[in-house]
């Protein structure tokens, strides 16, 4: 399929339109359980994200990056396998949840506690990467290593439209192409990098077409359409696993919220534009799709919302407990496998001062 | 035992570690087919294949960034940056990721990689080929910085660096790459990181140095001997973590210290060592002098 969607020919993959109509020819074969999981993950993502905003506003959490409007991304996580590796930037809560990341880790990270980056063993989600675009190279490196070891493991690295301007993105694309690395570069083009619009990031008509110059396929997908994202990622992941090399996926979406809680988007964009994208909401159209299939009804929604709310409360309670138990020692403990004598000295000095303060 | 120069000693260390441990891989610009511009990696690709000895695109951030991924996945990449003046494009990867991956993930992911970099002046090359910026790296928590001064030292320290569970910057004194030959044990051995070596005992003054400046110190000590001044020479070996104990004990004994490096003086690692001495041995010091 991907080869039929050459971005240079203006092709764009959409399976589920904004009214919830499905393209029967391209519709991925997903079971009722899988469809429900996808929908439920989108709802959990939105609710957890909304709750995070409330926590931030009430001083219980630090600055964070909302994912609002980009929840269809969960499909990327569901198209991957457990042994695969994921490299997030900082707006991929949906993919992380789809990849079994415990929700409390998300809250911990934005509470400023590094425990949030301690992915459970067996879940290969890398820590969030704040330096924009830099994580793409780690994904390519893991993919190269999997190749060397002969493992059928695929790496997916996420970035935003702003990230594609960074040199590291281009070096990652270049290494991925040269070494035929089994990886996917997943670009969420949400139109804005803080206040900078997409057309200032690149003069290319699409981001997807950049892949062609690096010698591998790129595809532009409706990023608010979970079915399209699933279909494209699934195929790209399978291609990578079969030894066919990397793919660049450009997910055309929109950041409904601010860049972070410290940003004011009314300074640089119009309500009209936001409204246009709100009409293309990823959850709304998926709900209609499920309703038409007889999967969704009001009772199901009510139960789901209740379940998610409970899960979120439990995650916050757990996160606040872990954060409160974090000790100053942790700043020193994890710098090296074994604390150096210099760090030991500094740690003891701190310890002494803390004790003196307590007395 | 055989007589080897630094290039040959490092090459031997790489051969032995690659043979012993399948997870060791080598990558960088021209390191494969050609064996590197200084020929340090000669013969590795022929012996271990193109999958484990990779010629990469000319992109330093790419080399370091992909090495981080490989290391996190369980390989032990030994990456080469061709010259000291070309590491800077990779600084974001080194500082923001290689150095912090363990800490950021609370030990869930680690970065056991080595970055080999020929450093220092004296090879009659143009700008960017003669830099000695080791202090920049030693300043970064999470990195270790190793600088050998001789062939036998280079072999043992490199093997230790490869086996170390954390990222190590391994600066090779290119000025003396082929200038010194000495007996290097054929079998593999490890010189522990973080331990300085007293090269020569003396009672009047301590000379502290690393890398190619060790040879300068030895020459100076010979001259001083003619004037009946007895020099103690300390090879720091690992500037980070720093073995300040060995240095301080020596200075307590001699009362005088000259720190010699070929880096810019201000904010250099000599200043750091001078500070440590003054913190711990202020009452025993007659003179401390950091000399670039």
For B282, half-sphere exposure in the C-beta direction (CA atoms, 13 angstrom radius) is: 3
Q: What is the pLDDT of residue A320?
A: 97
Q: What is the chain B residue with the closest CA to A145?
A: B70
- The 10s digit of each residue's pLDDT in B92-121 is 999 999 999 999 999 999 999 999 999 999
Of B56, B69, B108, the CB nearest to A138: B69
Distance CA B105, CA B19 (A): 31
Q: What is the pLDDT of residue B61?
A: 98
Helix or strand or coil: residue A155?
Answer: strand
| Catalytic, out of B15, B33, B97, B129 | B129
Mark yes or no for CB contact A138/B72 under 8 Å.
yes
**Average pLDDT, whole number, for chain A?**
96
- How are beta strands A192-193 and B168-173 bridged, if at all? unpaired
How many Å lie between the alpha carbon of B183 and the closest alpha carbon of chain A? 31
Distance CA A304, CA A296 (A): 11
Q: What is the pLDDT of residue A314?
A: 98
Is the per-residue pLDDT at A301 higher than 70?
yes
How many Å lie between the alpha carbon of B175 and the closest alpha carbon of chain A? 30
Distance CA A109, CA A115 (A): 7
Residue A143 contacts B where some CB pair is shorter than 8 Å: yes
- The 10s digit of each residue's pLDDT in B222-258 is 999 999 999 999 999 999 999 999 999 999 999 999 9
Q: What is the pLDDT of residue A357?
A: 85
- The 10s digit of each residue's pLDDT in B5-54 is 999 999 999 999 999 999 999 999 999 999 999 999 999 999 999 999 99
Q: What is the pLDDT of residue B275?
A: 94
Mark yes or no for CB contact A148/B62 under 8 Å.
no
Give me A109's structure tokens. 């990270």
How many Å lie between the alpha carbon of B54 and the closest alpha carbon of chain A? 9
Mark yes or no for CB contact B141/A335 under 8 Å.
yes
Residue A104 contacts B where some CB pair is shorter than 8 Å: no
What mean pLDDT do residues A261-276 have? 94
Q: What is the pLDDT of residue B41?
A: 98
Mark yes or no for CB contact B96/A121 under 8 Å.
no
Q: What is the pLDDT of residue B291?
A: 66
Q: What is the pLDDT of residue A99?
A: 98
The predicted model scores a pTM of 0.97
Q: What is the pLDDT of residue A270?
A: 95
Mutate to test the interface with B, among A102, A137, A328 (most CBs of B within 10 A): A137
The dihedrals phi and psi of A196, each to the nearest 5 degrees, come to -95, 120
Distance CA B88, CA A9 (A): 39
Residue B264 contacts A where some CB pair is shorter than 8 Å: no
Q: What is the pLDDT of residue B292?
A: 63
Q: What is the pLDDT of residue B290?
A: 72
Domains by residue range for chain B, with CATH: 2-184 (3.40.50.970), 197-291 (3.40.50.920)
Residue B290 CA: distances (Å) to CA of B132, B258, B259, B272: 15, 6, 5, 9
Residue A193, number of CB atoms within 10 A of its CB:
20
Write out chain A residues lying below 8 Å of B143, CB-based. Answer: none
The closest of B244, B142, B252 to B195, measured between CA atoms, is B244
Alpha-carbon dihedral sign for residues B271, B273, B274, B278: positive
Annotated catalytic residues of A are 255, 259, 268
Mark yes or no for CB contact B66/A137 under 8 Å.
yes
Residue B43 contacts A where some CB pair is shorter than 8 Å: no
Cis bond leading into B241, ω under 30°? yes
How many Å lie between the alpha carbon of B259 and the closest alpha carbon of chain A? 20
Mark yes or no for CB contact B106/A126 under 8 Å.
no
- The 10s digit of each residue's pLDDT in A130-181 is 999 999 999 999 999 999 999 999 999 999 999 999 999 999 999 999 999 9
Mark yes or no for CB contact B61/A118 under 8 Å.
no
The dihedrals phi and psi of A144, each to the nearest 5 degrees, come to -60, -40
How many Å lie between the alpha carbon of A148 and the closest alpha carbon of chain B? 6
What mean pLDDT do residues A198-220 have? 97
Distance CA B65, CA B96 (A): 11
Mark yes or no for CB contact A167/B166 under 8 Å.
no
Mark yes or no for CB contact B54/A179 under 8 Å.
yes
- The 10s digit of each residue's pLDDT in A218-227 is 999 999 999 9
Residue A150 contacts B where some CB pair is shorter than 8 Å: no
Mark yes or no for CB contact A131/B97 under 8 Å.
yes
Of A136, A175, A337, the CB nearest to B166: A337
What mean pLDDT do residues A190-194 have? 95
Q: What is the chain B residue with the closest CA to A121?
A: B108
Q: Where residue B281 falls among pLDDT bands split at 50, 70, 90?
A: confident
- The 10s digit of each residue's pLDDT in A59-118 is 999 999 999 999 999 999 999 999 999 999 999 999 999 999 999 999 999 999 999 999
CATH number of A2-326: 3.40.50.970
Residue B70 contacts A where some CB pair is shorter than 8 Å: yes
Residue A325, number of CB atoms within 10 A of its CB:
10
Q: Strands of A196-316 (E only): list them.
A: 196-197, 218-222, 247-252
Write out chain B residues lying below 8 Å of A142, CB-based. Answer: 69-70, 72-73
Residue A133, number of CB atoms within 10 A of its CB:
26
What mean pLDDT do residues A251-261 have? 95
Write out chain B residues lying below 8 Å of A127, CB-based. Answer: 101, 104-105, 109
Q: What is the pLDDT of residue B284?
A: 78
Which A-chain residues 258-287 have CB contacts (< 8 A) with chain B?
none
Residue B116 contacts A where some CB pair is shorter than 8 Å: no
Asked about B129 being catalytic, the answer comes back as yes
Could you state, in order of their start, the residue ranges of all structural domains in chain A? 2-326, 327-359
Is the per-residue pLDDT at A316 higher than 90?
yes
How many Å lie between the alpha carbon of B75 and the closest alpha carbon of chain A? 7
Mark yes or no for CB contact B104/A117 under 8 Å.
yes
Residue A174 contacts B where some CB pair is shorter than 8 Å: yes
Residue B81, number of CB atoms within 10 A of its CB:
22
């Amino acid at each position: 399929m991907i080869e039929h969607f050459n971005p240079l020919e203006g092709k764009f993959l959409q399976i589920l339109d904004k009214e919830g109509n499905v393209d029967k020819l391209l519709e991925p074969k997903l079971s009722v359980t899988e469809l429900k999981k996808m929908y439920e993950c989108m709802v959990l993502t939105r609710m957890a994200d909304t709750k995070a905003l409330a926590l931030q506003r009430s001083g219980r959490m630090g600055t964070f990056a909302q994912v609002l409007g980009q929840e269809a991304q969960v499909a990327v996580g569901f198209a991957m396998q457990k042994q695969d590796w994921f490299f997030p930037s900082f707006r991929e809560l949906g993919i992380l949840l789809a990849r079994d990341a415990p929700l409390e880790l998300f809250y911990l990270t934005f509470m400023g506690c590094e425990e949030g980056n301690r992915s459970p063993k067996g879940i290969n989600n890398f820590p969030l990467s704040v330096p924009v675009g830099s994580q793409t190279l780690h994904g390519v490196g893991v993919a190269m290593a999997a190749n060397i070891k002969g493992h059928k493991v695929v790496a997916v690295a996420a970035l935003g439209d702003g990230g594609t301007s960074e040199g590291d993105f281009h070096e990652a694309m270049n290494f991925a192409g040269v070494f035929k690395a089994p990886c996917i570069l997943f670009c969420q083009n949400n139109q804005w990098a803080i206040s900078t619009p997409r057309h200032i990031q690149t003069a290319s008509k699409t981001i997807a077409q950049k892949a062609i110059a690096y010698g591998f396929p790129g595809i532009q997908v409706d990023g608010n359409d979970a079915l399209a994202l699933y279909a494209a990622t699934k195929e790209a992941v399978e291609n990578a696993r079969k030894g066919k090399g990397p793919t660049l996926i450009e997910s055309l979406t929109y950041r409904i919220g601010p860049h972070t809680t410290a940003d004011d988007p009314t300074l640089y964009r119009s309500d009209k534009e936001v409204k246009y994208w709100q009409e293309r909401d990823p959850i709304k159209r998926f709900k209609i799709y499920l309703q038409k299939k007889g999967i969704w009804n009001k009772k199901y929604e009510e139960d789901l919302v209740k379940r998610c709310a409970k899960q979120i409360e439990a995650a916050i309670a757990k996160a606040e407990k872990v954060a409160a138990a974090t000790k100053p020692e942790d700043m020193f403990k994890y710098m090296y496998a074994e604390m150096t004598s210099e760090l030991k000295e500094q740690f003891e000095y701190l310890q002494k001062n803390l004790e003196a303060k307590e007395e | 035992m055989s007589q080897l120069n630094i290039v040959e000693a490092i090459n031997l260390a790489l051969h032995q570690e690659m043979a012993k441990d399948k997870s060791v891989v080598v990558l960088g610009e021209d390191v494969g087919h050609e064996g590197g511009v200084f020929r340090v990696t000669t013969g590795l690709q022929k012996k271990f294949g193109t999958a484990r000895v990779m010629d990469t695109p000319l992109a330093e951030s790419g080399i370091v960034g992909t090495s981080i991924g490989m290391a996190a996945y369980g390989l032990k990449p030994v990456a080469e940056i061709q010259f000291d003046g070309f590491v800077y494009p990779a600084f974001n990867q080194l500082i923001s990721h290689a150095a912090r991956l363990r800490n950021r993930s609370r030990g869930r992911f680690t970065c056991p990689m080595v970055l080999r970099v020929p450093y220092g002046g004296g090879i009659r090359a143009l700008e960017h080929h003669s830099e000695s910026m080791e202090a920049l790296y030693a300043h970064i928590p999470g990195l270790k910085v190793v600088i050998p001064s001789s062939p036998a030292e280079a072999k043992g320290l490199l093997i230790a660096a490869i086996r170390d569970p954390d990222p190590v910057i391994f600066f090779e004194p290119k000025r003396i790459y082929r200038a010194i030959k000495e007996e290097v044990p054929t079998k593999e051995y490890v010189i522990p990181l973080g331990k300085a070596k007293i090269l020569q005992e003396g009672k009047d003054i301590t000379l502290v140095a690393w890398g190619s400046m060790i040879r300068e110190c030895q020459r100076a000590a010979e001259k001083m001997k003619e004037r009946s001044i007895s020099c103690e020479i300390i090879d720091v070996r690992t500037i980070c973590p720093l073995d300040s104990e060995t240095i301080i004990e020596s200075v307590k004994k001699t009362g005088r210290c000259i720190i010699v490096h070929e880096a810019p003086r201000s904010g250099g690692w000599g200043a750091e060592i001078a500070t440590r001495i003054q913190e711990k041995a202020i009452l025993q010091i007659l003179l401390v002098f950091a000399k670039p």
